[in-house]
A = this chain, B = another copy of it.
């Protein structure tokens, strides 16, 4: 309420109480002022009450909520379902304009403010989590993969002759498709096995650059966060190569914001060499629903160029989710989540190690991967081809989600390219294994339950295998029907 309304209220309820109420309102306004002034994530999280008040304030600034508005255009922010209006806090106009997803909308001052503030708060968080020299970023309501595609499409205009993208192999479909969709030819560089870890083959990368010629290469497309035993790419060295050969460098930092190691790699890469943009998922890093990504970089002009490539207005939903989330956590709340994640990573490693040795397996030694862990499954593979995938299906049925089993020797063809040893990031990985990750938001209880159920599954599987071995071959064939999942789901499962 404005001061006039407070004064009127004093006539109804006693002056001193209303004044206290009005002071209390001011403390909410104060928080909003800081946000508007500094464009940074507040140190302490806001209460739901402040957040909703703020969103209400934004909404009344959009023309669809003007009390006296009349609309005769083709896009007036009309909403017919009140369920829908309500769940978007009546912020209907989305973000951006036809020319630029980061632009301001005349019809929607509130939504425009939301968009600008979100990008600004997110930039602050990228700085705080380790990429201190990041200069610009924006939230885009697309998957990480599609956002990478947008980056590649933008680079095309700068490098019209380029047709290749150099890509240290990572077995995740959308990364690969991001390049295919943009119309480029991925040049897959196999990883090197160092101990248990799979790491970037820098020599092979440089070799390819020389081979193909720098001008025919659109960019190097590297990856930080990934499933063990692969580890983040050697970003510093790749960035140096890119600088040396004057080749753009796009980093897929999918869920790397949650790890200080991944963020440090990016900061270092940009410092010593060249990184043009790095892309990260909203949902995997900020515990919001699937659907958004952040495109960030060190050169404001280039990041703006990307934002101007998106034709049309876009959904404000992912921006709204991440803004609500960061305001409610505050920078300190988010940091706390990250440090809990780190602690649980060590707890998970320890528990997996014990479990592995109890079953005659071992925890693979992958110290460079700060999030994902892998435990060998040699014993299962020895007995039966199907046992490894069956373990996956058993875990799925027992509500262990996210544990991923990787059998040996899978082949998969994606858009014409055949990957040998698919899922393992390598044609030559020596053993099958199971992945588990400590991602932001995980709890000790998650780990405890997972270990308990995994232990049970391994025991059950062992028993079944022994029975199968000691009986007729027919029974062994039937093994796969003993789970509650059909074979179809087994096939689908590993590609989660």
- B contact residues around A325 at 8 Å (CB): 80-81, 84
A437 within 8 Å of B (CB atoms): yes
Whether A49 pairs with B65 at a CB distance below 8 angstroms is yes
A460 to chain B, nearest CB (A): 17
| Identical copies of this chain, number | 4
The B-contacting residues of A in range 33-69, CB under 8 angstroms, are: 33, 36-37, 39, 47-53, 56-57, 59-63, 65-69
* Contact flag A29-B1 (CB < 8 Å), given A109-B20, A328-B83: yes
Query: Which of these binds chain B: A189-197, A356-364, A445-453?
Result: A445-453
Whether A18 pairs with B61 at a CB distance below 8 angstroms is yes
Query: Which of these binds chain B: A171-179, A263-271, A376-384, A423-431?
Result: A171-179
* A8 to B38 Cα, complex, angstroms: 10
- B contact residues around A89 at 8 Å (CB): 87
A301 within 8 Å of B (CB atoms): no
- B contact residues around A180 at 8 Å (CB): 157, 309, 311
* A99 to B348 Cα, complex, angstroms: 30
A406 to chain B, nearest CB (A): 13
A274 within 8 Å of B (CB atoms): no
- B contact residues around A32 at 8 Å (CB): 1, 5
Q: A113's closest neighbor in chain B, by CB?
A: B13
Whether A311 pairs with B146 at a CB distance below 8 angstroms is yes
- B contact residues around A286 at 8 Å (CB): 80
Q: A97's closest neighbor in chain B, by CB?
A: B495
Closest 10 interchain pairs by CB?
A73-B402, A291-B315, A143-B312, A94-B290, A21-B61, A145-B311, A145-B312, A70-B449, A78-B441, A177-B311
A125 to chain B, nearest CB (A): 14
A237 to chain B, nearest CB (A): 25
Q: A281's closest neighbor in chain B, by CB?
A: B75
Whether B174 pairs with A153 at a CB distance below 8 angstroms is no
Q: A449's closest neighbor in chain B, by CB?
A: B70
* A83 to B89 Cα, complex, angstroms: 11
> How many interface residues does A have (CB within 8 Å)?
174
Whether A181 pairs with B403 at a CB distance below 8 angstroms is no
A350 to chain B, nearest CB (A): 14
* A175 to B312 Cα, complex, angstroms: 8
* A321 to B225 Cα, complex, angstroms: 32
Query: Can you list, as one digit per residue, whether each of A91-134 has a CB less than 8 Å from chain B (1) or not (0)?
Result: 11111011100001111011011001100000000000000000
- B contact residues around A66 at 8 Å (CB): 24, 27, 399
A16 within 8 Å of B (CB atoms): yes
A39 to chain B, nearest CB (A): 8
Query: Which of these binds chain B: A209-217, A242-250, A462-470, A486-494?
Result: A486-494
* A32 to B16 Cα, complex, angstroms: 20
Whether B65 pairs with A288 at a CB distance below 8 angstroms is no
A155 to chain B, nearest CB (A): 10
A474 within 8 Å of B (CB atoms): no
* A59 to B25 Cα, complex, angstroms: 10
Whether A82 pairs with B84 at a CB distance below 8 angstroms is no
Whether A104 pairs with B312 at a CB distance below 8 angstroms is no
* Contact flag A312-B437 (CB < 8 Å), given A63-B399, A442-B72: no
A301 to chain B, nearest CB (A): 16
A404 within 8 Å of B (CB atoms): yes
Most buried by B among A51, A73, A488: A73
List 12 other contacts, CB 8 Å, given A14-B486, A75-B283: A1-B29, A8-B33, A12-B116, A49-B60, A71-B400, A71-B401, A73-B496, A74-B439, A81-B288, A91-B289, A141-B141, A289-B316
The B-contacting residues of A in range 382-415, CB under 8 angstroms, are: 396-397, 399-404, 414
* A48 to B84 Cα, complex, angstroms: 11
* Contact flag A5-B33 (CB < 8 Å), given A142-B142, A289-B84, A311-B148: yes
A47 to chain B, nearest CB (A): 7
A165 within 8 Å of B (CB atoms): no
Q: A110's closest neighbor in chain B, by CB?
A: B21
* A33 to B91 Cα, complex, angstroms: 25
Whether A22 pairs with B61 at a CB distance below 8 angstroms is yes
